[in-house]
Copies of this chain bind each other. A is one copy, B any other.
Amino acid sequence: MEKFEHAIVNPISSLNLLSRAEIEALTNTRGDLFDLFRRCALAILNTDSSKDDAAEIYADYSDFELRIVPQSRGLRLELFNAPPQAFVDGRMIRGIQEHLFACLRDIIYTDIKMAPESFSVQSDATNTVFRILRNANVVRPDVPPQMVVCWGGHAIPRNEYDYAKEVGYALGLRGLDIVTGCGIGAMKGPMKGAALGHAKQQVKDGRYIGISEPGIIASESPNAIVNELVIMPDIEKRLEAFVRLAHAVIIFPGGVGTVEEILYLFSILMHPDNAHSLPVVFAGPDNCAEYFQELEAFLVASLGEGVREHYQIILGNADHVGYTVRKVVQDQQARRRRLQQAYYFNWELVITKDLQVPFVPTHANMASLDLHAELPPHQLASELRRAFSGLVAGNVKTFGIEQVRLHGPYQLRGEPRLLRQMDSLLQLLVKQQRMKLGEGEQDYVPCYRIVD
């Protein structure tokens, strides 16, 4: 396996300006932060990789070493055995270098500069999200609303990737910026397309914002088109950052992770206080009709007919997606201006505590989920999100896989009609190969069982 043996990397200018106390914390007193940074750094250097198994990546690069070299003027990094794709003719690609120091910036800010206790309090989650984004210069005053959040799978067929690129192109031609989870697939396609659209419109400051978090970054290495990378401390703050930054959301087809995101979003949008606050478009190439039918059937069955008000579905016609999104974004602008709301951060959106507190997928927690259609839709959406969060864990996360190995499949209880619909959606995801298989496996082995 080819590796880049040794590199010295100087910080992008602003990171030069660390106080002595900050350098000291990073290099000596806080070994935990250093480990965190080392893991994120490896993921960043592993840019554009199609490998999404974090364990495997860490194993491949077990000899990757990182040193923070304190200097009188600031610090620099020394790397050993780094992934070679981060370099051209022996020099690190500038975009990657910026990602590296963006990551360091966020770790220093979150864990050293901010009084860390301040964000342990849940009531403070929104302020913490805002402060991290502000420190990263992602929220900016006086910028018109033009942030389109794009969600969808990272391991998708070529035609879906091409479609995502076309949508991105249509968005870029209309001057819109892109926010994604910063990996490949539906996270990269829109950015790549938008870059071309921006070029044709002579837009030089197009924004391709990637929001990641330490737990997922290794499976979703930031692609190098991302020109603003932010590392949020956990998945809940990452999701909250997406929805508070968004002026519109496009959702491309994906697997259980994408369904989790959809349920998170609808739990917010169906909250009575959040009427019409954020437009959502489901989009995919023509051959994704079945996918969206099944998805919609599940949403309607669980959340009621009312859910239909909160999204529209567009099949094919990427330019029409661009046109539609531009229009709803303009409506957002008019609305926020009228209500004197900030363009750069959607403070008004009510996000309930259950969406801000991490869900731990033990068998007990999974079994006690309350999956009944009598719940108000936004609460049921939140419960269902937890169920899918557990499925994601049981499929791909270390903790969940281990739980399933020890105790067998998770048991899901609730209203039969609801559970059947959920199962039907999951089987389609399997059929369409949107579920990750373990190494050497031919068929998907479910990590859940529906209990009547």
Contact = CB atoms under 8 A, between A and B. Distances in A.
Interface of A: 13-14, 16-17, 19-21, 71-74, 88-89, 93-96, 98, 115, 124, 126-127, 130-131, 134, 139-142, 173-174, 192, 195-196, 199-205, 224-225, 227, 323, 326, 339-344, 347-348
B195 A199 contact: yes
A73 B19 contact: no
Contacts of A344: 17
A73 B200 contact: no
A183 to B, nearest CB: 16
A348 B71 CA distance: 12
B89 A342 contact: no
Nearest to A95: B200
B341 A201 contact: no
Contacts of A134: 17, 19
B225 A173 contact: no
Number of chain copies forming the complex: 4
A88 B196 contact: no
A27 to B, nearest CB: 15
A133 B17 CA distance: 10
Contacts of A227: 199, 202
A344 B202 CA distance: 24
B141 A21 contact: no
Given A124-B21, A142-B13, A204-B205, A199 B340 contact: no
Contacts of A195: 195-196, 199
A74 B17 contact: no
Given A16-B141, A195-B196, A72 B340 contact: yes
B201 A225 contact: no
B89 A323 contact: yes
Given A72-B339, A73-B341, A94-B202, 9 more contacts: A17-B140, A17-B344, A19-B130, A72-B342, A74-B342, A93-B201, A195-B195, A196-B225, A199-B224
A113 B225 CA distance: 33
Contact of A199 (B71, B95, B96, B139): B95
A137 B14 CA distance: 10
A224 B203 CA distance: 13
14 contacts: A13-B141, A13-B142, A16-B141, A19-B130, A20-B127, A21-B124, A21-B127, A71-B340, A72-B340, A93-B173, A93-B200, A94-B202, A95-B200, A195-B195
Contacts of A199: 95, 195, 224-225, 227
A14 B135 CA distance: 11
A174 B91 CA distance: 10
A203 B225 CA distance: 11
Residue from A21, A174, A343 with most neighbouring chain B CB atoms (10 Å): A21
Nearest to A205: B204
A147 to B, nearest CB: 16
Nearest to A203: B94
A340 B227 CA distance: 31
